[in-house]
Amino acid sequence: MYALEDTRHLLERLYTRGALRLFDVDGSYEEEVIPGVTVRLSGGHTPGSISVLVDTAERIANISGDVVYNLQGSLIDPFLDSLNAGEPTITGNRAMSTLEEKTAIKRALAGVRFMLPSHDVPALVQGGRVIGLLHNAISRPEVRVTDSSAYTLL
């Protein structure tokens, strides 16, 4: 449940010309919203999901939405794919094929320094692998999610 003032703010934005923009990306391109901020279709756990890619001083931060539901079980210690080193464990959501979901996860990790998923803590990424986590980021708003020194290395 959202607080009344937050809900009111969101509704007011719906009626403010130019304050809201819908994206209809089909996966064939990435759309730059403003310099340094790009939106792309990501897929993954939820079909139609988008990622917001933000240029930072330490490379790209991927606000990845539902691409990865659980970092520990999917990427750090992928319990279902232990025979295939480097393969992520997917959610089992059958709205997408196994290949589509794995491809979305790998693409989300490629070339980024930070992954900021909706359902888990921020992750520090190197070479397409999670190498650190930023625990309690929500309860510590002073912590900068795009500062690699704030992360606990695995």
CA distance 132 to 122: 9
Measured distance CA(154)–CA(152) in Å, rounded: 7
Pairing of strands 31-34, 37-41: antiparallel
Give DSSP secondary structure letters for 95-150.
TS-HHHHHHHHHHHHTTEEEEEESSS--EEEETTEEEEE-TTTTT-TTS-TT-GGG
pLDDT tens-digit profile of 104-121? 899 999 999 999 998 899
Q: Hey, is 93 helix, strand or coil?
A: coil
pLDDT (average), residues 45-49: 77
Average pLDDT over residues 130-147: 92
| Of residues 38, 42, 45, the one with CA closest to residue 27 | 42
User: pLDDT for 63-85, tens place per residue?
Assistant: 998 888 889 988 998 766 666 77
| Residue bearing the bigger pLDDT, 96 or 84 | 96
Residue 88 pLDDT: 85
Q: Is 24 a residue whose pLDDT tops 80?
A: no
